[in-house]
Amino acid sequence: MMLIMTMSLSRDVVFFFYKGNVMSNDFNNEVHEFLNELRDSGEVNMFGATKDLMDEFDMDKREARGHLMTWMNNFKKDDDDE
């Protein structure tokens, strides 16, 4: 069983814990930038972007879903602030 957990220390700092390793913010930023560009391209329904993350970053399905969920939650936070 693999575990993906996020911990947010502030609005802009999120750490991923995956298979016992802490992923860097640089990597998280790279993944989020990829997702932003994918969204802007209009090529993919973002609910299906898990496969794109798996292909681009050599992730397994659970890891890709964790990144996608965190990225999507950023938009939820923005909506809550308005």
Identify the CA nearest to 13 among candidates 1, 4, 2, 22: 22
What does the pLDDT look like over 9-50, one tens digit per residue? 444 444 444 444 456 788 889 999 999 999 999 999 999 999
Pairing relationship of beta strands 21-23 and 13-18 according to DSSP bridges: antiparallel
What does the alpha-carbon distance between residue 66 and residue 74 come to, in Å, rounded to a whole number? 13
65 vs 10, which has greater pLDDT?
65
What does the alpha-carbon distance between residue 44 and residue 21 come to, in Å, rounded to a whole number? 30
The whole-model pTM stands at: 0.67
Q: What is the mean pLDDT of residues 51-76?
A: 92
Q: At 45, phi and psi to the nearest 5?
A: -70, 125
What pLDDT is attached to residue 23? 60
Residue 68 has pLDDT above 70, yes or no: yes
